[in-house]
Amino acid sequence: MTTRFSCLPVLAALALACAGAAVAQAAKTDDVRAQIAKRLEIKVEDVRPSPIDGLYEVRAGAEVGYVSADGRYYVNGDVFDMASKENLTEDVRRKGRMALLSSIKDQDAIIFAPKAAAQHTVTVFTDVDCVHCRRMHSEIAELNRLGVRVRYLMFPRGGPGSESWKKAESVWCSADRKDALTRAKKGEKVSAKPCDTPVAAQYELGRSLGVNGTPGIFTDRGEYLAGYASAAYLAAYLDEPAAATASD
Do 210 and 62 form a contact (C-beta atoms < 8 A)?
yes
Beta strands in 119-233 (DSSP E): 120-126, 148-154, 216-218, 224-226
Which residues pair with residue 211 across a beta bridge? Answer: none
Q: What is the pLDDT of residue 10?
A: 53
- Which are the contacts of 191, defined by CB distance < 8 A and separation ≥ 6? 170
* pTM attached to this predicted model: 0.79
Q: What is the pLDDT of residue 3?
A: 47
Do 141 and 188 form a contact (C-beta atoms < 8 A)?
no
In this predicted model, what pLDDT tens digit does every residue of 190-215 receive, in sequence order? 999 999 999 999 999 999 999 989 99
* Long-range contacts formed by 158-165: CB under 8 A, 24+ apart: 159/203, 160/200, 160/203, 163/129, 164/127, 164/128, 164/129, 165/199
Q: What is the pLDDT of residue 244?
A: 66
Residues of the chain with pLDDT under 70: 1-29, 242-248
Which residues pair with residue 48 across a beta bridge? Answer: 57
